[in-house]
Chain A
Amino acid sequence: MTGLAPLQTQTPLPDFIANALGLEGAAGAIVGALVGAFVIANILLVFSGIAGPWAKRKLTAAFTDRIAVNRIGPFGLLIIVADAVRLLSKENIIPEGVDRPAFDLAPIILPFSALLGFAVIPMGSGLHLADPETGLVFVFAVASIASIGVVMGGYASNNKYSMLGALRAVAMNIAYEIPLVITAASVVIFAGTLQMSEIVAVQAEPLVSFAGVAIPSWFAFVNPFAFALFLAANLAEIGRNPFDLAEAPNEIIGGYITEYSSVYFVLFFLGEFVHIFLGGAIIATVFLGGPAAPISSLSFIPGIVWFVIKIWSVFLFTQWARSAVPRMRIDQMIEVGWKGLLVLSFANLLLTAVIVGVLA
């Protein structure tokens, strides 16, 4: 615990690193930022490296009565290494007639847009790169860049299936992105700020207490309706069942990733997982009190642990949805987006505004 204690300050990670290294001024800011970003990116790569090849297999297997990888290493964990070697050593096939450099840029945009979002996420234990006043807006803005990657990949691939996938992605994007942001806005009305650290801090206030145990005012408890809406819209954002239409292997083979192989495929694959975790991170920060412990008596456990538990819970939820919920049709998805989620999210926003207005 003592080793972690300095990390549990509110100092952003780059400043902490700069201080620890004894650097000051511009050099300190640059080195701190780079090293901090490196640390955060590596944490995420480890997550998606495990989640991609191993946890996803194990989880879906558990959902579907199978065993999955168990031959290589304990619990099949070394499959991660085997998979990495396999995927990286494959030939990168670039089909004739693809539109370069869009074809090459797309797989880079997807994971990095998601990684960028983590810059403003307070992960607890001091792992927080930046805390701008517009943190929430920033995270939605960069997360949406991923759609550009999808469209670029789909359009540049010179493949009709990819094209269909990209078109679906665009249509879906408009349908779910607005409800997503509007629902988050209802939280902003509560919190009165867009700054991530402030949003987390507001949620630390006790909501009610039972027998001496204070339940924190996480927005998931304060406004469960908004939480449910956000979870649903988030499934669409990360493209998992019932909204995995942009890939829909049984219909359009792989959608926008049909033509990608080897390293490019790995980047897309990685991007999807980082994106799922970013979705989880946004949900954790905005609705589940960020890195805070659910009850104060458990707060001796470091914040990063709670944070990891929370984002992995969201990951588990997406895998559950994937195994159990059938896929919708594109027109039905659009209908759900425009006629369901959008209307409900506006209703939620208005209601929240009225309630907050009356109470305040």
Chain B
Amino acid sequence: MSTQTPTERPESDDRIALPDELAELLGDRVIGREEHLNAPGYVIRPDAVQDVLSTLKNEAGYDHLSCVTAQEYEDRYESIYHLKKFDDPTQEVSVVVPTDTGSPRSESAEPVFRTADWHEREAYDLIGIDYDDHPDLRRILLPETWQGHPLSLEYDRTRPQIVRFDENANPLESDTRSERDTDTMMLNIGPHHPATHGVMHLEATLDGEQVVDVEPDIGYIHRCEEQMCQSGTYRHQIMPYPDRWDWGGGGLLNEWAYARVAETLADIEVPEYAQVVRTMGAELSRILSHLLAVGAYALDVAGDFTATFMYAITERETVQNVLEDLTGQRLMFNYFRLGGVAWDLPEPREEFFERTRDFLDGFPRRLAEFHDLLTGNEIIQMRTVDTGVLPPEVAKDYGCTGPVLRGSGVDYDLRRDDPYGYYDELDWGVVTQESGDNFARLQVRLREMEESARIIEQCLDLLEGWPEADRSVQANVPRTIKPDDDTEVYTAVEAAKGELGIYVRADGTDEPARFKIRGPSFSNLQALPEMAEGELIPDMIASLGSLDIVLGSVDR
């Protein structure tokens, strides 16, 4: 267990910082330069992807492939690899890989970063870029019978996709074991199963109860979120969507992801008071999400009539009441606005403060109860310690973030490492656990709630003492936002489940030309096979629960 306050953070390595030095490192592999608002962009040839990425990873320390964005221009396709450093996520670089329109082919980054596997499958699925050297280039979000690539330019959205039932793949047909191999059994877990936390399908190959192989099959609730955001205006129409990517309660945190990217894009300064309100709301939201994660985890491990789940729900109720007072909503808050929040704290303020403080006063006792019921329980320890181990290097390779990564002992939290809002002014710590097992992830979430409570307490103090004349909840934001043509930006925030990144390319209109969402659960879920293979079914269920995926951010 280690917690670090922002001031104790070690200086990040200063091996590479300047764009020109990077260009020098990459040499003639760079065929052009781009400037994204968040990072320098290097244009490279489609056959040099692995070479460039491994150079950046091994020699310049860019070890975090945060996101892969694909898009189509009039004259070319483009894959953008958004790289960061786990040590210092403010050091970013974008690797831009243009490909021809005719038959877009690009080298896969999968051999360098495992996480590229799913990201490139999604790029293939939605945009239509082929990745050479990719181990398994199939559709990922849409059914395999889908015609066309919906985010490509020539795609006809009006054409109905009519598929007969028998044209769909029969999941049992992929069970292609030889006649002699009768020791294993293929089991379809989901799409409807109590432990998949939504509509998800795990194709598991079992040897008795032991999981030999498991492959998550996602996309059942793909709702075209990127497409919808691309047809909404920056100013008002996009903000409600991020709430829908996390129905575990982390809505405000997700709204911040859009607020951050749009505010960077339109260069909006948020008033300090609004930042404090945002920070408080966001941490309440995190508690909401973590409580559900912990409660549902108790369901996964303990059984379906456990009291722990209901205790978590009871406690959530208090938080939801506070958030309802603040935002007017209990699940889909839609409280953030570009340049601030929708409105100030509810009147009478004293009542709101009292209510929130009441919750905070009772919270440590409830947390102690959860520790009694979960981390202190011997059977839970038997079930979770040393099961579902995710080593830190593997976690990084898969682009895992949030409590999952911190449970593997990697000290990475965007709230501290790439500060936004009011976090860097407050006194709180990042929770990590070294062991990387199911138990560690459970403990990280429980401890993070303590830290969130600390943040909320400090925000309350600040808000109570804030001079009345200075309580500005919104900056002056133009009615219509039209960023310059070809402005590109990728920013991320620390959402409840991990790093939620959004890439936006503006085309001079008031709607984004490309809106790409990096859902934290998408990358986290990809690591499930690493954790589950070789373990028993109950351990796989426990591991899945400990990832705390929300399919709204997996399928989008």
Contacts and interface: CB of A to CB of B under 8 A. Distances in A.
Interface string A238-278: 00011010001111110000000000000000000000000
Contact of A327 (B185, B208, B303, B310): B303
B449 interface: no
B307 A65 contact: yes
A249 B194 contact: yes
Contacts of B137: none
Contacts of B314: 65
Nearest to A330: B209
B165 interface: no
Question: Chain B: interface secondary structure?
Answer: helix
B220 interface: no
A65 B295 CA distance: 14
Interface stretch (A5-13, A308-316, A317-325): A317-325
A252 B300 CA distance: 11
Interface string A167-208: 110000000000000000000000000000000000000000
A164 interface: yes
A134 interface: no
Q: How large is the interface on B (under 10, 10 to 19, 20 to 34, 35 or more residues)?
A: 20 to 34
A60 B193 contact: no
Nearest to B306: A323
B381 to A, nearest CB: 10
B299 A250 contact: yes
Contacts of A65: 307, 310-311, 314
Contacts of A63: 307
Interface string A146-162: 00000000000000110
A323 B307 contact: yes
Nearest to B379: A326
Contact of A326 (B187, B311, B380, B539): B380
Contact of A249 (B304, B310, B377, B536): B304
A70 interface: no
Interface residues of A, number: 30
Nearest to B210: A331
B331 interface: no
B209 A241 contact: no
Given A242-B379, A251-B541, A329-B536, A324 B307 contact: yes
A331 B380 CA distance: 14
A250 B196 CA distance: 9
Contact of A328 (B299, B304, B305, B383): B383
Nearest to B311: A65
Contacts of B311: 64-65
B305 A322 contact: yes
A301 B129 CA distance: 82
Contacts of A167: 208-209
A211 B187 CA distance: 65
Interface in A29-66: 60, 63-66
B195 A251 contact: yes
Interface string B80-119: 0000000000000000000000000000000000000000
Interface string B309-348: 1110010000000000000000000000000000000000
B383 A329 contact: yes
Nearest to A322: B305
A241 B538 CA distance: 15
Contacts of B373: 324
Nearest to B303: A327
B536 A64 contact: no
B187 A327 contact: no
Contacts of B301: 250, 326-327
Given A65-B307, A164-B209, A326 B538 contact: no
Interface of A: 60, 63-66, 160-161, 164, 167-168, 241-242, 244, 248-253, 322-332
5 contacts: A66-B310, A167-B209, A324-B307, A324-B373, A326-B303
Given A65-B311, A248-B303, 6 more contacts: A64-B306, A251-B541, A324-B306, A324-B307, A327-B302, A328-B383
